Amino acid sequence: MVAIVDSGSTKSDWIILDEFKNVFLKAETIGFNPNFISKELIVPEIEKNTSLNSVKNSITKIYFYGSGCGVQQNCDIIIQELGKVFTNAEIIVKEDLTAAAYAAYRGTPAIVCILGTGSNSCYFDGKNIKIQLPSLGFLVGDEGSGSAIGKQLVRRFFMQKLPEDLSVEFEQTYKLTVDEVLKNMYHSTRPNAFLADFNKFVVERKEHPYLRQMVHDEMLNFFDYQVLPYKESKDAEINFIGSIAFYYEDILRAAAAEFNLNVGQIVQKPIESLVDYHIQYIL
């Protein structure tokens, strides 16, 4: 059996294929981004998933694509920890941008972007992935991402920048204190996911003019920092992977239009397309 895994900072989607390349099972775990999660949590999280546990000895190959896996040290952590569970498997680890490029590929070169809990971009010509810009993480980078939008919302609430109606609704919804924010920001394992969770509030009210402008400005930042530096951005189609791109699609396309950029397809969950790519080109 072969496992294909798409792991973000928030969650991981698993699809297990049988010897005939048919889907045998699907599973979900938390995200295994080594920049945020302690490696000691990876094995217990997998072992408590009964579906994965039931086939762990039958899996002979794992293709793992994860956020935070752009550096070899983090790839080695994933290989080491997965190897403790899937003892019969060869484990191949690559960063999530590679998964996005594969999932979004439709036969023509394109810029591929991730807009989920974090954000990133690359150029894929069908064979080679060009990553021109570094991923600076949620503290410095991740423009347009769920964590960036959540950070804007929380900051504006506490700094009394939100309109009164939104401020009241936010207070009633979360009853959030400064101490809670600081604890989750500086003393938790997944601060970026904590911030990204506030997108539920924004998505439910995205037609509110204030929130719409806030998200629009974040999308402009994303294109400015993570797309325009690619010389191919003037002509190539720009495809998106991730829930943030999916939920704010209309705002994203409007922001792209301001830069005369051509946004193509937007895929919320890349795992199905990623599996199709493996079946066609890799397995």
pLDDT tens per residue across span 173-223: 999 999 999 998 888 878 888 899 999 999 999 999 999 999 999 999 999
Contact assessment for residue 120 and residue 113, using Cβ atoms and an 8 Å cutoff: yes
Return the ∠ at Cα 10 (arms to 208 and 101), rounded to 5°: 90
Q: What is the CA radius of gyration of the chain?
A: 19
Q: Dump pLDDT digits (tens) for 113-125.
A: 999 989 999 999 9
Cα(193)–Cα(175) distance, integer angstroms: 18
| Stated pTM of the model | 0.82
Residue 99: partners with Cβ closer than 8 Å, 6 or more residues away: 6, 65, 241, 270, 274
Cα-flanking dihedrals φ and ψ of residue 49, to 5°? -90, 110
Rounded Cα distance between 69 and 130, Å, is 16
Residue 124's pLDDT is 94
pLDDT of 43: 96
| Contact assessment for residue 111 and residue 100, using Cβ atoms and an 8 Å cutoff | no
pLDDT at res. 181: 93
> Exposed, middle or buried: residue 51 (CB in 10 Å: 0-12, 13-18, 19+)?
middle
Give me the percent of the chain exceeding a pLDDT of 90: 80
The mean pLDDT of 246-265, rounded to a whole number, is 96
Average pLDDT over the chain, rounded to whole?
93
Q: How many CA atoms lie within 13 A of 81 on its CB side?
A: 22
Residue listed under structure tokens 């960063």 = 95
Mean pLDDT of 38-53: 94
